[in-house]
Chain A
Amino acid sequence: MELTVLNETQSASSGGCSSSGCGSTDDQLSHLPDDIKQKVHNHPCYSEEAHHYFARMHVAVAPACNIQCHYCNRKYDCANESRPGVVSELLTPDQAVMKTKAVAANIPQMTVLGIAGPGDPLANPERTFETFRRLSQEAPDIKLCVSTNGLALPDAVEELAKHNIDHVTITINCVDPEIGAQIYPWIYWNNRRIRGKKGAKILIEQQQKGLEMLVARGILVKVNSVMIPGVNDQHLKEVSRIVKQKGAFLHNVMPLISEAEHGTFYGVMGQRGPSNEELMDLQDECSGDMNMMRHCRQCRADAVGLLGEDRGDEFTLDKIAEMDIDYEAAMKKRAVIHQGIAEELAEKEKKRAALAAVKVPSGPAADNTHFRPVLMAVATSGGGMINQHFGHATEFLIYEASSNGVRFISHRKVDQYCIGNDTCGEKESALSGSIRALSGCEVVLCSKIGFEPWGLLEEAGIQPNGEHAMEPIEEAVMAVYEEMIATGRLDEAKPENAQISA
């Protein structure tokens, strides 16, 4: 299969849209050739649209790893942390198959099973491939995917192709061994531990070779990169260009997670992660080169459910043992539900197409394209609607409105300030924390909002807006943008507090 060079498609269709956006929420998929779109439309990790409807799960069958990354400490066993590389219980392939069937029967929207660790799946070839082999036979309606650091990838391509895995994620943080040596202190290669630049060079060569081999076999490749300020932040633009050139279909730049209490090398040493603005700027710069993914939630290696939620607790080994799963019956039910979701998505797509025709400002400033783009935060509990109370939002989706339309930028996590207890002394500081998470935004859209946060948001230069409750996000964002143009708000400079600080 030949993959289209994404950049060319982009330029041809829209004259380039790296800085100002190019349409719908789903713009990370809209430029893909139809055959790829077909493969990924119901994969929550690839499609911003699909992730509101379809769920994924990871089974933790792969504890061993063959390299060391400075952002990982290999103590994977933690119930309360939510980040890649962390799981509650390791599973044998047999337990993993049981758990997958149990989840598939109870959460019929679950379409994708991934093996993502907690170590490197391909450094555990027997456990990983045994799980894939059995699932492709016993649960053929589930898509399989795998993520890897790439070191053992070239040797695994043949086997991956056999199990009908059509998506692989490779984490590629660099293409330069000098930079690699600051991220990977050592690798285990040909029965030796190889340190520093020499090890990083081998890892990089294996990643690139693996990427080329997968593309040649027609297996879709997504590339994940961890943005590490002062180490690879500038370099990732080159990584993006190279992996796109070699045929990766999506690039996902994620922020470094480096809390000291996680005990990773970077955490202990005080390496900082990027700010929201730094991450957004880099994603924008990379998107000139290729399709960017912006809705990744950096989930645990045993996550279950929709992105951003984790229902793993409902499917512990003792709970699964008590479930009696008739998979044949479950598959029939799943097919009906998947059909229903497909119809709902098709309906939305139709609406979106109608919206696309009017998405350029049509108000009094229709011919003026000089207005600045505006960032807006949205509180939503899913379904593409503005349907969440400001105080209940654990994350906000950030959209940009401009004369080119509306596009999804990222999600930002916040602490919930409203826990239903007015005597909570932490309330005010947590609220100011959530306001800080909205820096750079000029508007926040939600279904409802309290009096107190309303005032504080206004003081911070962020206009709260509850007028578009239960409306589709993109339409509401564009309506507010047009209103801002009509009322002359965009004739004024951006409010001081909403300025993006570098």
Chain B
Amino acid sequence: MDNHDYLNSKGRIFDIQRFSVHDGPGIRTIFFLKGCFLRCRWCCNPESQSGDIEQMTIAGKTKTVGRDVTVAELVEIAERDRIYYSRSGGGVTLSGGECLYQSEFAANLLRACKEKGINTAIESTGFSDFSKIEPLLANLDLFLMDIKHTQSAKHKQFTGVPNELIKQNAHLIAKACKELIIRVPVIPTFNDTPEEIADIAAFAATLHGVKEIHLLPYHRLGYDKYIGLGREYSIGDVELLSSDKISTLKAAAERSGLIVKIGG
């Protein structure tokens, strides 16, 4: 690719959030890339899943979800908060959807950020051929990787895909990236028993260099969006996790020897 062509490469995003303080260190700008390989039942961003531009109705107003942007446009937006990154140790995080769904664009965006001296992170399921992941790692400071369940059948039942590839990639990523943190969305009826959480933590502890695991308690903020997209909220009417339960799960995860944090 030519010198500056990568700056003009196009991708599709559905949202930008500035002053994010829960997805990587410091104050961060999150670019939400559109399209995902998984179909998690609890997904709080259902509008992120399809790679297509679509319509969603929220509070009576219909809005178009998804727009095409260049790397240069996003870097310009990231630049606006540079001073807050440098004061807080923050930077840019690519989220989704799944940034590996647009892996070439993601790689270009990370490269452009890194060249500007901006700290980079991605949030990813790791569900992709490793050859698509590897090009991102050179310009990545932090990989936030989801491990949702250790049993493949249950994983497939709730996310639409089995987990062998994810587990296999986790080992490869751990060896190849600067820093890896494992994150677990804790979903009632899916993975909220101490045994399940302990299993995930035990797996995370086997990954090269991994020191931290984050438990992200389920919330139902995505509910309105399912209605707005005319889709079913298939996780159904599950209870939120009590703080007692969260403490129990935290203790279960801590048996792995990893540092356990609640939230990001």
Q: Check if A and B associate.
A: no
